[in-house]
Copies of this chain bind each other. A is one copy, B any other.
Amino acid sequence: MTQINPHYQKLQAGYLFPEIGRRVKEFSAQNPQAKVIRLGIGDVVLPLPEAVRSAIKKATDELGDPKTFRGYGPEQGYDFLREAIAQNDFQARGAKIEADEIFVSDGSKCDCGNIQEIFSLDSRVAVVDPVYPVYVDTNVMAGRSGHYQDGRYANFVYMPATAENNFKPAFPKEKVDLIYLCSPANPTGTVLDKKDLEGWVAFAKKHEAIILFDAAYEAFITDDSLPRSIFEIPGAREVAIEFRSFSKTAGFTGTRCAFTAIPKDLFAKNEKGEKVSVHALWHRRHCTKFNGVSYPIQRGAEAVYSAQGKKEVTSLIHYYMENARLILAGLQQTGLQAFGGIHAPYVWLKTPNGMKSWDFFDLLLSKSHVVGTPGAGFGPSGEGYFRLSAFGFRENILEALSRIKNY
């Protein structure tokens, strides 16, 4: 009988969000009158911008005319979108990234999950703890970890980020090859500043490691002096890959478009010790296993960079960041210790009296009918913390806060 990939069986069965879903469903079944407010999953609620919708519809019409019909597009994305990205997201901020260093995809989850394929299975992986589970799980599936014990997989290097170190993980002491960093960070809502990133770039250079930098939340940074891209840091072109997404920025979670920037100055080595272009490897991977993003959706993404698109996106972000401000202030008023929420749409709170994060989840659900995400679900250093998302309608955020305060 055909054998399965044995590493899948190391994965922990209860993925975080399905388990949350199960508990909410059970609670709602027992309390059908309770109006549950969900601030758990980081999913947007406001409409897709008008500029984006118009562009999608216009492009769809083009597909109805044999003269403007488009079949297979370039796997890496159309030039019109790659150029808009390079110019607006990188060059406009002094980060040297060219259009042909951009790979357009249907989601950052895919890119963050697939990127490890082009590296050796012997690569040592470092992740921040707590962390977005996709970095960890995809490396487990590939076979880079040992077994799971006490909330951690053997062979991975975990870098704790807690209130004690101001959510700025220390450099690993072990030799590592692939370092996953996320800033503004999911789940802690905290951000790395220029000096932090300079430190990481220098570390990666010194230890010949590659930084996999997830900047999915860069649009929520409110202080313009903070870096939005790792490529704003000199030298980063030789050590980093960056992941970006339209999901949270422009309301694309159901529309699907993202991109990855891989500089041509980034190299890894082969078995003979010769330098190999990482850009070329990912290009080969992308062309072999992917066929490009839907043409109308790429036109929609392009419209994010139009004058009207920028205006609409700014207004979406302001809305969510006002939510974040209200959550942070509201929690602090109740005496809870809370972090993040200033340059990110997540607030990370310390559970009262050292309560376990799943216990706090159950308490908040049963008493306030509010759903959040238990910190322990993001890694062992998330224990004792809890994530609230600012992606919600204002009235629900206010109602949730009022219930939490009253309780």
Binding site for B on A (CB under 8 A): 1-6, 8-9, 11, 15, 41, 43-48, 50, 53, 56-57, 60-61, 63-66, 69-73, 106-107, 109-110, 113-114, 117-123, 134, 137-138, 141, 177-178, 208-210, 251, 253-256, 267-271, 275-276, 278, 281, 284-285, 287-297, 393
Q: Which residue of B lies closest to A391 (CB)?
A: B71
* Chain B residues in 8 Å Cβ range of A70: 254
* Chain B residues in 8 Å Cβ range of A2: 119-120, 123, 177-178, 208-210, 268-269
**9 tightest Cβ-Cβ pairs between the two chains A and B:** A3-B120, A113-B289, A43-B71, A71-B253, A48-B63, A1-B208, A2-B177, A70-B254, A1-B269
A322 vs B255: C-alpha distance in the bound complex, in angstroms?
36
* Chain B residues in 8 Å Cβ range of A255: 63, 294-296
The reply to whether B6 and A120 form a contact with Cβ atoms under 8 Å apart is yes
The reply to whether B113 and A1 form a contact with Cβ atoms under 8 Å apart is no
The reply to whether A285 and B141 form a contact with Cβ atoms under 8 Å apart is yes
* Chain B residues in 8 Å Cβ range of A251: 63, 69, 71
- Of B43, B46, B118, B256, the contact of A4 (CB 8 Å cutoff): B118
25 CB-based A-B contacts, threshold 8 Å = A2-B209, A3-B269, A3-B270, A4-B268, A4-B278, A5-B281, A8-B118, A9-B276, A11-B284, A46-B69, A47-B66, A56-B60, A57-B61, A60-B60, A63-B254, A66-B393, A71-B254, A72-B253, A106-B106, A107-B290, A107-B291, A109-B289, A117-B141, A255-B296, A256-B293
* Chain B residues in 8 Å Cβ range of A285: 8, 141
Smallest Cβ distance from A380 to chain B, in angstroms? 20
Q: Which residue of B lies closest to A278 (CB)?
A: B4
* Chain B residues in 8 Å Cβ range of A47: 63-66, 69
A2-B119, A119-B2 known; A297-B297 Cβ under 8 A: yes
- Of B4, B61, B66, B289, the contact of A270 (CB 8 Å cutoff): B4
Given contacts A2-B178, A5-B120, 18 further A-B contacts (CB under 8 A): A1-B268, A3-B268, A4-B118, A4-B278, A5-B118, A5-B119, A8-B281, A15-B287, A45-B71, A48-B63, A50-B64, A57-B57, A63-B251, A113-B288, A114-B289, A134-B289, A141-B285, A256-B292
Smallest Cβ distance from A89 to chain B, in angstroms? 21
The reply to whether A289 and B3 form a contact with Cβ atoms under 8 Å apart is no
A63-B53, A289-B134 known; A294-B256 Cβ under 8 A: yes
A15 vs B138: C-alpha distance in the bound complex, in angstroms?
28
